[in-house]
Structure 1
């Protein structure tokens, strides 16, 4: 039988085996979390993710540690788990029982899909109005919708509220139309994405926040953005085809945020 090494997680001030019952306690405790991508280019937007974590409901449990200290802990954890030189999902959780960090291999979408586009299904948003602005530790409803999407050969699930587009299960939504970039209002009905905000810093077109009524017209470019996925074009939503313009401002930014970029 092939020998496998034990994996570890960080909890408060120590590293523990993933077999330790403390891990389940951490995973099931109330709190907030951040997901950070690790790849050849390092930890993506660590400082921005920490800032959002500090602003969360359970921020009082977070030690006053600098971003550099968190980076050292995460890199130690990656080395301890023998995960160097891979694309990883790093999670920092702040809960009632303390702070935990985990790192695991992330199966990125095929690199070709960053050019050819992905497919979305559509569902009603699982949270009440105004409850989506922060990443709570318990996201079972999001996870169920996302799993259902994958099982039905979609790559993500677009979430609607009162007939308007808000976000996806693990991503934000961006539209490009008439030489402007459109995104749903940042009004608490959706999570404002870290990667989304970084993308907007690179856009030279006008950026407009407005309610996006469903269905989205099929002459509009549609993109999703997320901490793990980066920036991806959407080719289809529930069977409706959408254009992918390789000369558009958003499309040109795809390599900058791709998990495959060095």
Structure 2
């Protein structure tokens, strides 16, 4: 198909006369007539105006090639993948179910509950917490085990102070278990500090006051447990009072551990910020 034929066809599609097209292009009607009969060829500037007017490319105007048909493909629906923490949460829920089902089937429902609670708590954390779920699961698992050990056997990490006088606690197994708990706490504290290595806590006056308050609260909780522990050794203490005192010591111990982790992490971050500002 020649250029003149294309111009004539496209002009007719736009419902323009030769005079109308000549007026738009600022040429005479005779020039348009010569173009359509292939007696002459418009210059490049006129060709550009013709392609813009007809809404086609230069190649389509000159050769008459049909524009490629765009095939619209339906969008592919990609289902979002499940985050790894939720997969871990599902696995933990299944483990909690098995930990509860097997002992319960053998007649020990209380043991089943005790074994299932850590898995259940960690599964809930994996579903609800987006940042650092592994760290919080480790803390939750330790604190849950700490509660069960304390109420079941009276073992606490504080007993490692009796390493060289284990006769006062009755058996060296207690001090050995206390050392294991202490090492676990140390690992959790190191993991917490390293996990917040990018957290900014500049050495300002306000942050300094916050840090001092945290350390004071930690020391207050630690000092609070000593006189309460002495009350537990008092003769003829009622059972209800003993359980209440044990619960108070337990809550004070957990609170002191949480405060220690927060205060230690903020202290390390403040020291790092101070060192970076003095380089």
TM-score, normalised with respect to structure 2? 0.21
* Greater Rg by CA: 2
TM-score, normalised with respect to structure 1? 0.22
Q: Which protein has the bigger strand share?
A: 1
Q: Which protein has the bigger helix share?
A: 2
Higher relative contact order (CA 8 A, sep 6+): 1
